[in-house]
Structure 1
Amino acid sequence: MSCGHPLSSRSASSPQAFSVNAIDKIQRYLPQGLTSRILSQKDKIEGERRQVTVMFCDMKGFTPLVTRLGPEKAYSVMDQVYEILIHEIHDFGGTVNEMTGDGVMALFGAPIALEDAPQRALRSALAIHRGIEEFNRSRQEKDLIRMRIGVNTGIVVVGTLGNDLRGEFKAVGDTVNLASRMEGLAEPGTTYVAGNTFKLTGGLFQFEPLGKKEIKGVREPIPVYKLLSTKENLYRPRLGSERMIFSRMVGRDRELDRLELQVLKAVNGEGSVINVIGEAGMGKSRLVAELKRRESTSKATVLEGRAIQIGKNLSFYPIIDLFKQWAQIREGDDEAAAFGKLLASVRRLCPEDLGEVLPFVATLMGMKLPGQYAERVKGIEGESLENLILLALRKLLIKATELTPLIIIAEDLHWADTSSIELLESLFRLAETRRILFINVFRPGYQETGDRIAKGVKEKFP
């Protein structure tokens, strides 16, 4: 049993013929550089078997929408829906593999390898539903748009690529077929996942078990789960080091011991900067996850931030991510709640310097400042603002290390923006005098980010 989904096989009678060219739309919203990275792997992925998370997403009631609004208005609506789908898939590292008249098929983990594909896919699904809800509110129409999403994880065979993403790129196998069946079962506005995806993400998301379902083409009934939300008791799902671990790591004891030695040094007052470098799938995040389970790590405060695949277009994203975790700012917090949490967190550490630290940390995080805090940053721009932000962050981290050793884990820095790299390099100097350990996790071959950090750390922290 197999199911193939070639990217270019759309007939002239397809509903997509009414809209702009599907592949042009996909490429228009690809994160900067992703197209070239995909195409550069053409020779590597021909006929390759990979574990991939597959997502199918379509709109319920597309045909009645065309009848009710007429083709022109209906496809205008669909173009806006496509933008939501493509953005939310790419934002979490997925690749749109096929566009139909009323939905998409996407892959997480191919052609670009991802260490946490199932988690990314489910976060993308939740973001799609939120985006569609916002779109419905903006339309103010009675006919609400609802998406049905199906997700499955397993082995697929990834095909070859043409020279412009129009060619032979496709994924085939039972995994693809089952993801499509999950979408077919899903109620409008919901996401259904199969058992493999549930097992890999069950500790990070809330699900409703739906029992075993008869699936066409599958011999025995299989368990199906409805995705509800991320777990409320977590700051957010860690898309890197806090993935579910079902077994002891094998073959990395030496590297793990070396990392733990740096933790012990920090606990005893000696800071350091460590780089964990490796290609996707080599176990970088797993190594960090194992380190966090060690007893020595419990003697320090651990803060984590990570860059995302479109991070070059998002200034300071991993730094902001780190401070959101520190202040326990959740994704659903509004502006007032988020600022209140940051205020409380900064006040606990820097009560005497609150007026000098809070405005600049909040500015870095893109928060709207009230009253006296807005006045403090008024008229400050450019290099002067950057220096004051750096000073505020240094004060905050220094105060934190006076209370407890600090471990700062920055993941996926190969995707970070230049501003984040420069800021981190400035903060690394704290390790010379403070009990702070920086752990930088990234892939090799990214000259402006990961390679730059590797070179700088080697020169300044031999």
Structure 2
Amino acid sequence: MRLATVMMVDMVGSTEMTERLGPEASARVLRELARIARGRVEAHGGVLMHEMGDGYFALFGAPVSIERAALAACRAGLDLLDAVATEAARFARDYGVAPALRIGLASGEVLLTGLAGDDSLNATGSPVNLAARLQALAAPGTVMCSGSIVADTRGWARFEAEGEQPLKGFSAPVAVFRLAALDPRPPDRPIGSARYGGEFVGRGAEMARLAGWARGDAGAKPVGLIVGAAGIGKSRLMGEFGAQARPRRLIVGACHPMATARPLAPLIEILRGFAGWRPGQGPAEIARALAPLIDPGDEGAAALAGLLADRARTDAGDHLPDAIALRRALSAALTALGTRPDCLVAVEDLHWIDPLSAEVLTGVIGAAPAAFRLLGTTRPGDWIGQLPPERVEVIAARPLPAGDIAVIAQEMMGAAAGADLVRRIAESSEGNPFFAIEFLHNVVTNGDAVSAGQIGAIQNVALARFDRLDPATKAQLRMAAVLGRSFRFDVLQAAMGAGALDSAALLNAAEGIVEPDPADPGGSGHFHHILFRDSIYATLPSGAKKPMHRAAAEAVAAAAGDNPAALADVLAEHYELAEAPREAVTWLRVAARNAYGLYALDSCKSLMERAFGLIAPAFDTFAPETVEDALSLRIRCLDLMDQFRAVIEVSDTWLPRLRTPEGSPTQALLLALTAKARCHLADIDAADKLVAQALEMATRLADEKALAYAKVVRMRVLVDSGRGSLAEVESLFEETRAFTEQKSDDPLYGNRVFHMMSAYRCAGAMGRARALNDELMAFGARHNQTHVILMGHW
């Protein structure tokens, strides 16, 4: 069972809308509403569990724990209603309907269960049923709440009592309240924290298992994974183990919640740690420092050094062979580092890992030698399931027993830590040391809490220290929270538009909330825990967040100097939260190109989906060339991922809106790639028409690349349809030779040779087919192109 807040959302009048608009237009309206709902729910830390036609079911506080779940749900509900009201005029213009929502909220214990035949979760329990009944009672544009919501947000929100209402399924009438508004935080509301740096208690079993794993005891696996809930002490356990492992050097790469779209961030941090990287260091110096791991002359070594030096390539998208060589060099360096007896490699917070780092690490782990060791921390979740179980040793970080909580309490409070207090602390924290320590700090600071026997909720503990700070320090911390868990002092100063920032004074005033960032103690700060950053960020009024995120984006870009592309994902995130779609799309495109250039196709796909989510509702405000460029990158990414149905869906949705009578090289290329996708789905007639249009346009525009792509796809159409002669295919093969051999376009080269080989095989010319197959296999081996080698095997 988990304590959580349940949100039920319903669109008013959806049945009448479907009757009036028809199913297709109604489905488009509901999809847009779902996008808005998901964005608002996730922006406040919730999880959209299910979309139920014209309604949505969300949880706050489970399956991912967050502070102040009830308050977050209230904020999300009002934010969602405001967002839909803001979009009402556009909906009315585009669809002839102005949708309205009604929302129900209830808090309490829910049971999380898996759905049969599915990997997704469901939640059951009285709060789920109550939230659904409250939603049905709500008038359009309102949020109806249970008494538990009122209690959990007392002092933070205002409610109008609607009396006791009989609700289906409930034996007695239920008190119902309408959410009227959110209040500013009272100045005397306590929450507060400081790091406990005292005795390392308990964890004897975990430390023993880690020691045996590191020694390579019988049955030890390459990966040691410390698994536990937020605040359970995973990082402290890893740090203590690293200290005991000396002189073995612990090298840590951290995953961050705001950098999930930045490919390879934790792996770059690990190799920089080994190399002794410092800002401004050039690739040549880094290559020398990496020499114990990878020969500077190896293929991809120079690109790896450039990556660590933050030398972003603007043309990386056209050099996929370099991207693949870079990934191989990265894997080789990590493997070598993980087998060194003087080093221990660790990745912290793997639940936030980006897709490409996960892919690279999975490959390294799967092929690692027996001596390889990688330590990691993660919350329970799906990422663990991606790793081969025979390669991973899970070390569970369990809740501390009451006796260990008592040791912490006695060290912090001495004789004041009586048995009753310890019992209540242990029960309230559920053995979570972070929560226990923060409860104890609250008791130390507010002595009346001991005599009153009241221990506030952890969300109040998390802000007590913040509430007691002076206004200037609060303002600095709020902007720091906008920047993220870690922040540079010069960027914070620029974002605030203020004079010189006294970083020492900030760290002193906010002791226990922020601290020097271990990676850059002189120049950066770091929130003690992600919950602290999230708690402070959540205090920002919604109207203040937009200008603050814009200011943050401008400060980050200025600090990046002549290389803002390296921080494109961060800039995109800030502009998205600033609700500046054109700027956000600009940086999402840059971030997607960076990902594409690293062959991080999952990341590229995700970034472009976000971009088109912003383009769709404001299409007319974007320059056609911007959308065309974004569409080209999205379709090329999907093509390389062999997601041909998605290629067709995206192309059919967007290409007609961009087509012009004169066309463009990009339009010709997209027509060719869509024709290729149609071939893969055996829709030969449609493919034939599309490739004919691509050939005409590319020929008329004299664009070499688009013409080569169209001719290679034409080869595929002729072979698959059986309509063309061998001579026609051979002619196209020769016409595309110069471009494919000179432009380093390995996928195009492989497709061209494969289609010619297929034509020879169909014609019975097996000798020629075998010769081309040998050429294909040799090319794939020479260029590290697994995809091309698989073509040859097929």
User: Structure 2 matches for 1:287-366, cutoff 5 A?
Assistant: 287=440, 289-290=442-443, 293=446, 301=469, 303=473, 316-317=483-484, 361=492, 363-364=494-495
Residue 139 of structure 1 aligns with an amino acid whose one-letter code is F
Structure 2 segments unaligned to the other structure (5+ residues)? 194-401, 415-430, 449-463, 532-794
- CA 1:300/1:217 → structure 2, altered by over 3 Å: closer, same or farther? closer
Q: Report the counterpart of residue 340 of structure 1 in structure 2.
A: none
Q: Which has the higher strand share?
A: 1
Is 1:406 aligned to 2:573, yes or no?
no
Give the structure with higher Rg (CA): 2
Q: Report the counterpart of residue 155 of structure 1 in structure 2.
A: 109
Q: Report the counterpart of residue 13 of structure 1 in structure 2.
A: none
- CA 1:217/1:147 → structure 2, altered by over 3 Å: closer, same or farther? same
Q: Report the counterpart of residue 85 of structure 1 in structure 2.
A: 37
User: Structure 2 matches for 1:100-249, cutoff 5 A?
Assistant: 100-141=52-93, 143-160=97-114, 166-167=118-119, 169-232=121-184, 234=186
Deviations 1:391-450 (A, max 9, x none): 933x3764x79xxx6125548x9xxxxx9886776356xxxxxxxxx972358xxxxxxx
* Contact 2:6–2:107 (CA under 8 A) maintained in structure 1: yes
* Separation in structure 2 between the aligned mates of residue 439 and residue 259 of structure 1, nearest angstrom: 22
Is 1:426 aligned to 2:523, yes or no?
yes
* Contact 2:114–2:122 (CA under 8 A) maintained in structure 1: yes
Other structure's SS at 1:149 match: strand
Shift of residue 86, structure 1, vs aligned partner: 0.6
Residue 12 of structure 2 aligns with an amino acid whose one-letter code is K
- CA 1:206/1:63 → structure 2, altered by over 3 Å: closer, same or farther? same
> Which has the bigger relative contact order, CA under 8 A and spacing at least 6?
1
Q: Which has the higher helix share?
A: 2
* Contact 2:517–2:524 (CA under 8 A) maintained in structure 1: no
Shift of residue 96, structure 1, vs aligned partner: 1.6
Shift of residue 121, structure 1, vs aligned partner: 1.4
Shift of residue 100, structure 1, vs aligned partner: 0.9
* Separation in structure 2 between the aligned mates of residue 59 and residue 97 of structure 1, nearest angstrom: 17
* Contact 1:304–1:408 (CA under 8 A) maintained in structure 2: no
Shift of residue 138, structure 1, vs aligned partner: 3.6
* Separation in structure 1 between the aligned mates of residue 517 and residue 99 of structure 2, nearest angstrom: 38
Deviations 1:181-210 (A, max 9, x none): 111111111111111121111221111111
* Separation in structure 2 between the aligned mates of residue 281 and residue 181 of structure 1, nearest angstrom: 36
TM-score (norm 1): 0.50
* Separation in structure 2 between the aligned mates of residue 186 and residue 170 of structure 1, nearest angstrom: 24
* Contact 1:208–1:226 (CA under 8 A) maintained in structure 2: yes
* Contact 2:155–2:185 (CA under 8 A) maintained in structure 1: no
- CA 1:299/1:173 → structure 2, altered by over 3 Å: closer, same or farther? closer
- State the percentage of identical aligned residues: 24
Other structure's SS at 1:301 match: coil
* Contact 1:53–1:154 (CA under 8 A) maintained in structure 2: yes
Q: CA RMSD in A?
A: 4.7
Residue 146 of structure 1 aligns with an amino acid whose one-letter code is A
* Separation in structure 1 between the aligned mates of residue 98 and residue 44 of structure 2, nearest angstrom: 25
TM-score (norm 2): 0.31
Aligned length: 286
Residue 500 of structure 2 aligns with an amino acid whose one-letter code is A
* Separation in structure 2 between the aligned mates of residue 111 and residue 150 of structure 1, nearest angstrom: 19
- CA 1:210/1:68 → structure 2, altered by over 3 Å: closer, same or farther? same
* Contact 1:305–1:409 (CA under 8 A) maintained in structure 2: no
Residue 149 of structure 2 aligns with an amino acid whose one-letter code is T
Q: Report the counterpart of residue 453 of structure 1 in structure 2.
A: none
- CA 1:396/1:98 → structure 2, altered by over 3 Å: closer, same or farther? same
Deviations 1:234-271 (A, max 9, x none): 59x99987xxxxxxxx997875787799xxxxxxxxxx
Shift of residue 230, structure 1, vs aligned partner: 1.3
Deviations 1:323-343 (A, max 9, x none): xxxxxxxxxxxxxxxxxxxxx
Residue 147 of structure 2 aligns with an amino acid whose one-letter code is G
* Separation in structure 2 between the aligned mates of residue 257 and residue 426 of structure 1, nearest angstrom: 36
* Contact 1:115–1:281 (CA under 8 A) maintained in structure 2: no
* Separation in structure 2 between the aligned mates of residue 238 and residue 59 of structure 1, nearest angstrom: 38
* Separation in structure 1 between the aligned mates of residue 446 and residue 133 of structure 2, nearest angstrom: 38
* Separation in structure 2 between the aligned mates of residue 75 and residue 239 of structure 1, nearest angstrom: 45
Structure 1 segments unaligned to the other structure (5+ residues)? 1-48, 242-249, 262-277, 309-313, 321-356, 374-390, 414-418, 429-437, 444-462
* Separation in structure 2 between the aligned mates of residue 85 and residue 363 of structure 1, nearest angstrom: 33
Other structure's SS at 1:170 match: strand
* Separation in structure 2 between the aligned mates of residue 299 and residue 161 of structure 1, nearest angstrom: 42
Residue 80 of structure 1 aligns with an amino acid whose one-letter code is E
Residue 407 of structure 1 aligns with an amino acid whose one-letter code is A
Q: Report the counterpart of residue 50 of structure 1 in structure 2.
A: 2
Shift of residue 68, structure 1, vs aligned partner: 2.5
Shift of residue 361, structure 1, vs aligned partner: 4.7
* Separation in structure 1 between the aligned mates of residue 64 and residue 163 of structure 2, nearest angstrom: 33
User: Structure 2 matches for 1:250-261, cutoff 5 A?
Assistant: none
Q: Report the counterpart of residue 455 of structure 1 in structure 2.
A: none
* Separation in structure 2 between the aligned mates of residue 161 and residue 111 of structure 1, nearest angstrom: 14
* Separation in structure 1 between the aligned mates of residue 6 and residue 85 of structure 2, nearest angstrom: 23
* Separation in structure 2 between the aligned mates of residue 216 and residue 61 of structure 1, nearest angstrom: 22
- CA 1:282/1:299 → structure 2, altered by over 3 Å: closer, same or farther? closer
* Separation in structure 1 between the aligned mates of residue 126 and residue 178 of structure 2, nearest angstrom: 20
